[in-house]
Amino acid sequence: MQVPRHWRTQLPRYALVGVICDTCQRVAFPPRELCPECRTPTTKPYRFSGRGEVYSYSTVLQGPDGFADGTPYVVALVKLEEGPLVAAQLADTNPGELAIGMPVAMVTRRLREDDPKGIVLYGYKFRPLIPAETR
């Protein structure tokens, strides 16, 4: 990833920012130009809470280029409190402890290095909430 692109795309990688429709109030992630519900233009940013629950998950044993050194790892579909589904890695978990419906929260973590001399890329992952955090 080139340095200018890194800085231009920084916010979406460090926070769950989508859009909200002025017409029907539906939220969407990732941001899109048209509302998926009523098809009107969406320009108003919306910052998601970062909380949700595991909708589905799978363990990756052979990762793609750039992610192979971190295998095995768990990827999940997380249903955010606000409604959208987000695909992301799960962090701070043991595969035996995972369950559909488990409450999770977004965290910023290292994703990968662009190349050995390049930028270290950070982004969002999700981690399980401990019981005290679910209140």
**Can you read off the two tokens belonging to residue 122?**
């950070």
Interacting residues of 133 by C-beta distance below 8 A, sequence separation 6+ = 103, 105
Q: Is residue 135 part of a domain?
A: no
Residue 12 has pLDDT above 70, yes or no: no
Q: Is residue 126 part of a domain?
A: yes
Name the domain count of the chain. 1
**Per-residue confidence (pLDDT) for residue 11, from 0 to 100:** 60
Amino acid present at 33: E
Tens digits of residue pLDDT in 74-98: 999 999 999 999 999 999 888 788 9
H or E element, residue 125:
strand 120-128
> pTM for this structure?
0.79
3-state secondary structure of 30: coil
Quote the domain boundaries for residue 15. 3-130
- The arithmetic mean of pLDDT across residues 55-65, rounded, is 85
Tens digits of residue pLDDT in 16-30: 889 999 999 999 988
Q: Is residue 82 part of a domain?
A: yes
